[in-house]
Amino acid sequence: MKLPANSIELVHGEGQPEHVIIWLHGLGASSNDFPPIVPELGLDPKRAIQFIFPQAPDRAITINGGMRMPGWYDIKGMSIEDKQDAVGMAESQAMVDDIIQAQITAGIASENIILAGFSQGGAVTYFAGVRSEFKLGGLLALSTYLPFLEDTESAQKEANKQTPIFASHGTHDPVVPLSLGRSSVDALAALGYDIRWQTYPMEHQVAMEQIIEIGKWINSVFNAD
């Protein structure tokens, strides 16, 4: 599979990668957003990890007056969970599935793949992760929420019911309310998912303390395979 234009790939560690992290950026951002934190994660230098940072397509965002910008789906209502874009979300899910399938075809075990995302990218991570037919190594959801929450129980697949999830959020987030992030975590926990929840004293962003914890979580996930 050919990645979307302007996507970024890089390798951490030594040797031929047997582990992959697919990391989705937020609305209006780009694939350049998260590569700089890779050296700060404190990952095992002896484990080669392929990082894939896809670039979202430009699309009209209703809440922003129809302005075109990189986005995984449209936001049509005043609240991000209102009037959700089922078509855009399905398109992004299909893209994620295609990337995962390409890694499997290249010889990577699906259990060695982590799907990660920030804000809109995190919403796609939740949505695609619980619906994926592929057994993944983990889901990393940053400053985000679970879209189409009411459909999750009927749409979920068994493959990832036991997959570890690390969700984190800023206590002062003005974009994705903390309460929305928390209710999403509670909903997944009620469905039996193995989900860890962590908050940090920040807004809609990432912080060094959080980055360090993410790295520890990634190491634990990949050490368990």
Inside any domain, residue 168? yes
Residue 80 has pLDDT above 80, yes or no: no
Is 109 part of a structural domain of the chain? yes
Q: What are phi and psi of 202, to 5 degrees?
A: -150, 175
Domain membership flag for residue 137 = yes
Residue 67's H or E segment, with its range, is: strand 67-70
Q: Is residue 18 part of a domain?
A: yes
CA-nearest of 205, 165, 200, 208 to 184 is 165
CB 62 within 8 A of CB 75: yes
141 found inside a domain: yes
In a domain, 197, yes or no: yes
37 assigned to some structural domain: yes
Alpha-carbon torsion, ordered 166, 63, 205, 163, to 10 deg: 10
Q: Is residue 3 part of a domain?
A: no
* Percent of the chain whose pLDDT exceeds 70: 100
Say yes or no to pLDDT of 174 above 90. yes
Q: What is the CATH number of the domain that holds 206?
A: 3.40.50.1820
pLDDT, tens only, 104-127: 999 999 999 999 999 999 999 999
The one catalytic residue in 30, 44, 97, 204 is 204
Task: Give the chain's domain count.
Answer: 1
**Which structural domain range is residue 175 located in?**
8-223
Q: Does residue 173 have an active-site annotation?
A: yes
Binned at pLDDT 50, 70 and 90, residue 225 comes out as low
List the catalytic residue out of 110, 119, 143, 184: 119
Instruction: Kindly name the residue from 25, 168, 173, 184 that is annotated as catalytic.
Output: 173
Token digits for 200? 């940090």
Q: List phi, psi (to 5°) of 102.
A: -65, -35
**β-strands 8-12, 67-70: how paired?**
unpaired
Q: Respond yes or no: is residue 172 known to be catalytic.
A: no
Does the annotation count 204 as an active-site position?
A: yes
